[in-house]
Amino acid sequence: MRVTQPLVQIDPDDFLGLVECGDALGLTALVVRTPPPFRTADGRSWLELIARSGFNGRTSHLAEVVEVLLEAGAEVDAHAAAFLDDVGSLPTNLVPDVRDSRGRTALHLAAERDAADVARALIAAGADPSLRDDSGRSVLEIAAQPSPWRFGVARRVLDVLGEAGVELDPWTAARLGDVAALVGVDVHARDAVGDTLLGVAAEALATKAVAFLLDAGADPSAPDRFGRTPLHRAVARLVERDDLAVPRLLVQRGANRQARDQRGRTPADLASDLRLHLISRWLDPESDL
């Protein structure tokens, strides 16, 4: 697909707004009237940003814009290749641990996208899986966490990391529900950003890990840095997965249904905000379980 004339007049400063809105027509027009190298003022690749928003594991609504960018000569760096999930696009002169403006390497982005072939090629080229981005997240943690750019955990990248000898840390084990890897851990420990093991297990709706940690004495109401208890975090995931086992278990084991996060919301308030009305009523402290 090639568009030779801009369809509308657009200020280049509107690029990020167009990406956020998913405006394929506007983005195509902007690409046509803009010369390479197609990067934002802080150096981020247009190709990566468009692929992240509209050509990823959940949607392909901006696929045509990606094609137009490629036809217009956009450079495919390692970060863009990761989000395109295209190992063949990796640069021949690959420097694997180059960081973007947020401290992320291409391997971090491959984990976000679950781009296993790209991840394997990056590790073979010397990428360091232990590096952390500016928010403190390792590649392993990103692969094991929920992401808006894929469904579920990055299972394929987790397999690649396992092949490379990367061992599970306790928080990743909790997210993945790997009870065997949790034996002997300090259930009251917190990671660098203040997350408890029970909090991350609850957010992942990892029932066996939640039960194991509760049996080992974990506090069912311990808040994270945002004031969210494990019950808050489990309720928030119900939008994606209709599984009440973890919220029910937490309540049965004494989780405080009246606890409020930093925005003043109880778990029932959060459920109501997310339009989970039946769950909201069930979480009401006055209701019978």
CATH number, domain of 84, equals 1.25.40.20
Nearest CA-CA partner of 115 in 156, 176, 67, 147: 156
The structure's pTM equals: 0.73
Q: 95 and 152 share a domain?
A: yes
In a domain, 178, yes or no: no
Find residue 196's DSSP bridge partners. Answer: 190
Q: 10 and 28 share a domain?
A: yes
Q: 92 and 66 share a domain?
A: no
Nearest CA-CA partner of 222 in 193, 248, 255, 247: 255
In a domain, 226, yes or no: yes
In sign, the C-alpha dihedral spanning 73, 105, 57, 277 is negative
Length of the chain (residues):
289
In a domain, 58, yes or no: yes
Q: 142 and 218 share a domain?
A: no
pLDDT of the chain along its 289 residues, tens only? 333 333 334 454 578 888 888 888 888 888 888 888 888 877 788 888 888 888 887 888 888 888 888 888 888 889 999 989 999 999 988 999 999 888 999 999 999 999 999 999 999 999 999 999 998 889 998 999 878 878 788 999 999 999 999 998 899 999 999 999 999 999 999 988 899 999 999 999 999 999 999 999 999 999 999 999 999 999 998 888 878 999 999 999 999 999 999 999 999 999 888 777 667 666 766 665 5
CB atoms within 10 A of CB 151: 10
Boundary residue ending a domain (74, 93, 118): 74
Q: 244 and 264 share a domain?
A: yes
In a domain, 49, yes or no: yes
Token pair in block for residue 120 = 């394997």
Domain tally for the chain? Answer: 3
Q: 188 and 94 share a domain?
A: no
Q: 202 and 260 share a domain?
A: yes
In a domain, 34, yes or no: yes
Q: 110 and 194 share a domain?
A: no
Q: 86 and 54 share a domain?
A: no
Per-residue HEC secondary structure of the chain comes to CCCCCCCCCCCHHHHHHHHHHCCHHHHHHHHHCCCCCCECCCCCEHHHHHHHHHCCCCCCCCHHHHHHHHHCCCCCCHHHHHHHCCHHHCCCCCCCCCCCCCCCCHHHHHHHHCCHHHHHHHHHCCCCCCCECCCCCEHHHHHHCCCCCCCCCCHHHHHHHHHCCCCCCHHHHHHHCCHHHHCCCCCCCECCCCCEHHHHHHHCCCHHHHHHHHHCCCCCCCCCCCCCCHHHHHHHHCCCCCCCHHHHHHHHCCCCCCCCCCCCCCHHHHHHHCCCHHHHHHHCCCCCC
Distances (CA, A) of 160 to 81, 115, 117, 150, 200: 17, 10, 9, 17, 22
What is the C-alpha separation between 125 and 118, in angstroms, rounded?
11
Q: 48 and 142 share a domain?
A: no
Cis bond upstream, residue 6 (ω within 30)? no
Q: What is the pLDDT of residue 278?
A: 60
Distances (CA, A) of 274 to 5, 165, 232, 250, 277: 43, 39, 12, 19, 8
What is the C-alpha separation between 247 and 255, in angstroms, rounded?
9
Token pair in block for residue 82 = 């990761």
Q: 70 and 81 share a domain?
A: no
What is the C-alpha separation between 81 and 87, in angstroms, rounded?
7
Q: 63 and 84 share a domain?
A: no
Residue 255's domain comprises 184-289
Q: What is the pLDDT of residue 85?
A: 92
